[in-house]
Structure 1
Amino acid sequence: MQHTPRRTVSVLTGAVLALGLLAGCGDESRDAGDRPSTPASTPSAADTTTDATTEPTSGPTDDGMGEGAAVPVYYVGDTPGGDRLYREFTRVTGVERLVGAAAAVTQGDPVDPDYRTLWPGGRFTAVTLEADAIVVEVPEESWLEQGRLDRAQAKLAVQQLVYTLQGVVGKRLPVRVQYDGRPASTLLGVTVGAGLKATPELEVLAFVNITEPAEGTGVSDRFVAEGRASSFEATVIWEMQDSAGTVVLEGFAQAEGYMDKLYPWRTEVDASSLPPGDYTFVARTDDPSDGEGPGPTVDTKRITVQ
């Protein structure tokens, strides 16, 4: 009987993990499983094991599981509908990509100050890529319990991990959990079942996300802005604000679609009329309710026009 080899990535004592924002990194090549969050309900227990509508793809410099590569990491941010997931590309060195991505979820420090993680810190003991699943080994039994998180937070934290690891491997593989070498039935109090799956994008992801320009980067007076969104009639509204918060430039971009998931959007920004200096680039969803609804979802990046 022929066995499919497993690839186990363990977190070794003293391993170096360097996590940093990958500036100027484009969207994943094929609308990976990174999606918007509707200002609707918090994911239910059933949602946690619902297949997402599309498969993810790995990052723009992917070589499978290599070191020193870009990884998409999902963090939590505020939206009018409550906490949802935003994606930030990160480069890992010194460890393989699955390990680096998992560590970024549990203890990473996002570059964007608007993002955060719900995880309590620490690292998984191991991450294993198998033919039909991604397997994570928790270091302590307490990781299996809900702990200080409420139910909604625990479910979203689990989705942070699922979306991140699936984005790294480029497949919608279920995530299985082990403790002390044995299958575990829960993670942060969330039922694992046959494996944790990605909740549909519109239930957990923020409706707009900026990929470029990246937080804290310098841009020329003509630059490309892009990301992913699900906005009314596929319209993504953007603006640039100066250090006082005054809008000094504005426009809109057209995404490739909307309603069922997040779609790529892209626009060229002509900032040649602005003096060099620090600005905030803002992208938001269109608000057809004219202020009567919960309001638009927003993502921001601090940039320097050179």
Structure 2
Amino acid sequence: MHTRLPRTLLPGVALVAAGLLVLGGCGDDPSPASGDTSPTRGTDRPDRPGKGDDRPSVAPTSEGGGAATTVPVYFVGDTERAGPRLYREFQRVDGDPLVAAAGLLTAGDSLDPDYRTLFPGGAFAAVSYDAGRLVATLADDGWTTRAPGMSRSEARVAVQSLVYTLQGVQQERAPLVVEDAGGSPTTLFGVDTSGGVAAAPPLDVLSHVSLTSPEEGASVDGGTLEVSGVGNSFEANLGWEVRRGDEVVLDGYATLEGWMEEKLFPFEASVDVSGLEPGDYTFWVTTDDPAGGTEGVGAMTDDRSFTVG
């Protein structure tokens, strides 16, 4: 997932630029990923999440007449220099969206095999929103201290994965409080939650690039691969490649809506794949790293597999 990191991004080929999602500097983005401190609900289509936000959406399921909710879940992925970071993935769930999203997170049930969870096996006894707080109730005291082999930094990332996930589902930057079975505030992996845990600054805990589409394992029947996601990169530059195995068959660049702020900005692009033979491919995207890995957090990447029919 983290190879072939370019020092400087150069204009590439085979990219048809798509219009960027105009969000007024992501001011309409209610997600913690945006860095906006006054979340509001957007007006995107109700059957799918917005390109740059975490807003849950409700749509009919394919079976019965029930409803499913699309929720954001922040899983953990590895980076070249910055250690574990959070990557956002949208999934469809049934039932209470807070409970379902927390269940996906703690189980590590990601669609992308590059993502994982830092939670040991198990689940919360309950997850709810109460009086302006997000409340997660422990089933026992097994998660109050760090798991064997878990570092302090990993514990922080694990807690933040829960904070970002539940805030994204609830659409409110409410503090997280973890309670024991008796209803008293307690620690989560040694992190005190009694005063409420807020979301850490996005660029401190999130990957600096995270794909929204294509979904993992998507099929492309036409000649265009639609790409979207969020990121923050030097001079708003992102580089991308389409790979077949180890071979780069297409490459190019995309431009974020911005970069000089403490938040992630949306991007969209349409990649012409009409000349590719049918088969399995990987779309790979990277932030720019003008220091060439010699300082700072370095380049961060994300990728998704897809099939050309």
Name the counterpart of 2:84. Answer: 83
| SS of equivalent to 1:88 | strand
User: Does the Cα contact within 8 Å between 2:86 and 2:207 map onto a contact in 1?
Assistant: yes
Letter in 1 for 2:121: G
Question: Aligned to 1:103, what secondary structure does the other structure show?
Answer: helix
In the alignment, what sits opposite 1:248?
A: 249
- The yes-or-no answer on 1:299 pairing with 2:295 is no
Task: Give unmatched runs, 5+ long, in structure 2.
Answer: 1-20, 40-52, 60-65
Structure-2-length-normalised TM-score: 0.79
Alignment root-mean-square deviation, CA: 2.3
Q: Secondary structure at the match of 2:206?
A: coil
2:273 is aligned to 271
In the alignment of these two chains, the number of paired residues is: 261
Q: Which residue of 2 aligns with 1:201?
A: 202
Identify if the C-alpha distance between structure 1 residues 67 and 186 changes in structure 2 by more than 3 Å, giving closer, same or farther. farther
By how many angstroms is 1:60 displaced?
4.8
SS of aligned partner of 2:271: strand
2:143 corresponds to which residue?
Answer: 143
SS of 1:171's partner is coil
Alignment of 1:1-306 (within 5 A): 30=29, 32-34=31-33, 53-54=36-37, 58-62=54-58, 68-79=68-79, 80-93=81-94, 95-148=95-148, 149-219=150-220, 220-243=222-245, 245-259=246-260, 260-293=262-295, 295-306=298-309
- TM-score with structure 1 length normalisation? 0.79
Give the Å deviation of 1:291. Answer: 4.9
Deviation readout 1:49-85 (Å, 9 max, x if unpaired): xxx554566435149xx96211111111111211111
CA distance in 1, matches of 2:169, 2:72: 7
Q: Is the 8 A contact 1:231 1:285 kept in 2?
A: yes
8 A Cα contact 1:229 1:265, kept in partner? yes
> Shift of the alpha carbon at 1:125?
0.8
Kindly provide the CA deviation profile for residues 261-280 of structure 1, in whole angstroms up to 9, marking residues without a partner as x.
11001111111111121100
The runs of 5 or more residues in structure 1 that have no matched partner are: 1-25, 36-51
Would you say the 8 A contact 1:67–1:96 is kept in 2?
A: no
CA distance in 2, matches of 1:279, 1:110: 19
TM-superposed CA distance for 1:156, in Å, is 0.6
Q: How far apart are 1:248 and its partner, in Å?
A: 0.7
| CA shift digits 1:13-49 (9 cap, x unpaired) | xxxxxxxxxxxxx9997261126xxxxxxxxxxxxxx
Q: Indicate if the aligned counterparts of 1:281 and 1:302 stay in contact, CA closer than 8 A.
A: yes
Of all paired residues, the percent bearing the same amino acid is 44
